A and B are shown apart, each in its own frame.
Chain A
Amino acid sequence: MLRDITLGQYYQADSIIHRLDPRTKIMATIGYIVSLFLVNNIIGYAVCILFLAGMIMLSHVPFKFMVRGLRAVIVLLLMTVVFNLFLTQGESLWSFWIFNITKEGLRSAVFMAMRLFLLIIGSSLMTLTTTPNNLTDGIESLLSFLKIFRVPVHEVAMMMSIALRFIPILVDETNKIMKAQMARGANFETGGLIKKAKAMVPLFVPLFISAFRRANDLAMAMEARCYHGGKGRTKMKPLHYHLRDLWGYIIIACEITAAVFAGMIPFAIWIF
């Protein structure tokens, strides 16, 4: 359960994708996701798949790490497929008892599954190639225009990066607490729903106490180093755009254009 969290799981490698500015990667990922929702034929998907495959090759991240992110949403994926398959009205292909598969249903099920699959792989590619710190820096910088509306962008970004940083620590701590309680005969595995929920109390109480203690210590340490929020704060490693980022924007623009034009090709609908 706990191992499926890919959020903030950075894969260390040296590649052009890793070196890209986080802002480029965030914008490109958003662009790529938009393009996924614009296409609705097989050629459009082919463009997206080709683009993604190219990026994965460039990133030097083994494919199995991408698939790892899928495990957490496999149920959602299956449900989408099943609902689309059986509940879409249209020309009937096959029917049995109350089940009725239509041509339109099959089409939307396959497309929906592909869309979700490509979406998750694409966004894990971003989190796998960007350190959590870089990612929040990028988000902070991209959202900094909100400051005119008095949105505390820096503080929100700081909270995000702290939260991300603490995920592995708390996972580790959960394991240790579980072991300590199992050594006292605690049972986390068997029993009904209520019994299982009750069994969580000896796990959650120490976990929460420890989380609060850590939060307290961290706040103290930050104050001791004169942290006072975002105002007038400079960065040790400010973000800079390079030439490769320009290429990144050009490539993602091409991808979106290609995907949109591919969607316009009328005969493509007849192929599927």
Chain B
Amino acid sequence: MAIILDHVSYAYDKDNPEKKAIDDVSLHIKDGQFIGLIGHTGSGKSTLIQHFNGLIAPTSGNVYFDGKNIHDKEYDLRALRTKVGLVFQYPEHQLFEMDVFSDVCFGPKNQGLSKKDSELRAYEALKLVGLEDEYFYQPPFELSGGQKRRVAIAGVLAMKPSVLVLDEPTAGLDPKGRDEILDQIEKMQKETGITVILVSHSMEDVARYVERLIVMDDGKIMYDDTPRNVFSYCDELEAMGLAAPQVTYIMRDLKKAGFPVKTNLISVIEATDEILNKVR
């Protein structure tokens, strides 16, 4: 069920094909990976993820899912969208039903499942995102930002996708809400084993969770590696308007000041151990 992008380029303005939102991107997204996609605003990450489920067709290049070109004439794009679930940034753009539960049922119903099966899926999905039962029959518009986001994610999860793409799932949330959502996503990823692609402009959020980090700048992929290796380019990242986690900077400055510490550390705990070791 891997997604492969083969030299994909995309230009929004057909009259001006030189101005590319996506510029010659090739990617291989393997099963079960937890991936972070990072780039500052306007780097093309939102455009890129819409190629994964065929909402946008590339200007040039091909997209393959499960070995098949998704823009072949016979290919069923609607079926693909149930396999590659995409959750957009604003939950307000998709919530429309009178209560949370029926809203989550919308996806499975579109798949042609029976009422009973849809409800079962909806219940499962709502449990996976950690929404308490008391909210199930409330109007989704009255929920808090974090809960709305959970419902939106559940609405896509209920289709049982094998790949879940989340566009800025933490935007507009306070630190507590952000950590809760990300922890829940991590837990869900471990439980179900599905591929998760987390889109963000904040390194710090994503670094702790993902095993692979893709960094985009100006429509191109700059780095595609483990977070640890990516963060070793902290000067280059800064030039792109991104930043490495704060500890990376501390370790770098310590090294500059003459302490023989490793600089490729990404968490506070790792850094503490390293410093204590060297001090002793």
Q: How far is the CA of A186 from the CA of B109 in the complex (A)?
A: 9
Asked, given contacts A185-B78, A185-B81, whether A180 binds B107 with beta carbons under 8 Å apart, the answer is no
B93 → chain A closest CB, angstroms = 4
Taken residue by residue from 155 to 190, chain A's Cβ proximity to chain B (1 for < 8 Å, 0 otherwise) reads as 000000000000000000100110111111111000
Determine the residue in chain B with the shortest Cβ distance to A210.
B92
Q: Which of B21-29, B82-90, B171-179 contacts A (4 or more CB under 8 A)?
A: B82-90
Q: Which of A102-110, A198-206, A240-248, A249-257 contacts B (4 or more CB under 8 A)?
A: A198-206
User: For residue B155, which residues in chain A have a CB less than 8 angstroms away from its CB?
Assistant: 184
A194 at the interface (CB under 8 A from B): no
A217 → chain B closest CB, angstroms = 13
User: For residue B82, which residues in chain A have a CB less than 8 angstroms away from its CB?
Assistant: 185
Are A184 and B78 in touch, CB under 8 angstroms? no
Interface residues of A in 196-236 (CB under 8 A from B): 201-202, 205-206, 209-210
Q: How far is the CA of A183 from the CA of B158 in the complex (A)?
A: 12
Are A187 and B92 in touch, CB under 8 angstroms? no
Q: How far is the CA of A205 from the CA of B85 in the complex (A)?
A: 22
Are B94 and A185 in touch, CB under 8 angstroms? no
User: For residue A179, which residues in chain B have a CB less than 8 angstroms away from its CB?
Assistant: 50, 55, 88
Are A184 and B95 in touch, CB under 8 angstroms? no
B38 at the interface (CB under 8 A from A): no
Q: How far is the CA of A209 from the CA of B107 in the complex (A)?
A: 21
B114 at the interface (CB under 8 A from A): no
Classify the secondary structure of A's interface with B.
helix
Q: Give the most central of A182, A184, A187: most B CB within 10 Å.
A: A184
Q: How far is the CA of A254 from the CA of B143 in the complex (A)?
A: 64
B159 at the interface (CB under 8 A from A): yes
Determine the residue in chain B with the shortest Cβ distance to A204.
B96
Q: How far is the CA of A177 from the CA of B155 in the complex (A)?
A: 14
B209 at the interface (CB under 8 A from A): no
Are B110 and A177 in touch, CB under 8 angstroms? no
B106 at the interface (CB under 8 A from A): yes
Q: How far is the CA of A177 from the CA of B95 in the complex (A)?
A: 10
Determine the residue in chain B with the shortest Cβ distance to A185.
B110
Q: How far is the CA of A165 from the CA of B85 in the complex (A)?
A: 34
Q: How far is the CA of A260 from the CA of B184 in the complex (A)?
A: 76
Are A187 and B110 in touch, CB under 8 angstroms? yes
Determine the residue in chain A with the shortest Cβ distance to B158.
A184
Are B96 and A182 in touch, CB under 8 angstroms? no
Determine the residue in chain A with the shortest Cβ distance to B82.
A185
User: For residue B106, which residues in chain A have a CB less than 8 angstroms away from its CB?
Assistant: 184, 186, 202
B111 at the interface (CB under 8 A from A): yes
Q: Give the most central of B81, B85, B87, B94: most A CB within 10 Å.
A: B94
A143 → chain B closest CB, angstroms = 37
B141 at the interface (CB under 8 A from A): yes
Q: How far is the CA of A209 from the CA of B111 in the complex (A)?
A: 26
Are B96 and A183 in touch, CB under 8 angstroms? no
Asked, given contacts A184-B155, A184-B156, whether A206 binds B92 with beta carbons under 8 Å apart, the answer is yes
Q: How far is the CA of A187 from the CA of B82 in the complex (A)?
A: 12
B39 → chain A closest CB, angstroms = 19
Q: How far is the CA of A202 from the CA of B98 in the complex (A)?
A: 11
User: For residue B107, which residues in chain A have a CB less than 8 angstroms away from its CB?
Assistant: 184-185
Q: Give the most central of B97, B110, B155: most A CB within 10 Å.
A: B110
Are B81 and A176 in touch, CB under 8 angstroms? no
Are B81 and A206 in touch, CB under 8 angstroms? no
Determine the residue in chain B with the shortest Cβ distance to A179.
B55
Are A177 and B93 in touch, CB under 8 angstroms? yes
Are B88 and A176 in touch, CB under 8 angstroms? yes
B53 at the interface (CB under 8 A from A): yes
Asked, given contacts A185-B82, A187-B110, A201-B96, whether A180 binds B88 with beta carbons under 8 Å apart, the answer is yes
B47 → chain A closest CB, angstroms = 12
User: For residue B97, which residues in chain A have a CB less than 8 angstroms away from its CB?
Assistant: 205
Determine the residue in chain B with the shortest Cβ distance to A173.
B93
A residues in contact (CB < 8 Å) with B:
173, 176-177, 179-187, 201-202, 205-206, 209-210
- Seed contacts A186-B110, A206-B92; 6 additional CB < 8 Å A-B pairs: A179-B88, A184-B155, A184-B159, A185-B110, A185-B111, A209-B92
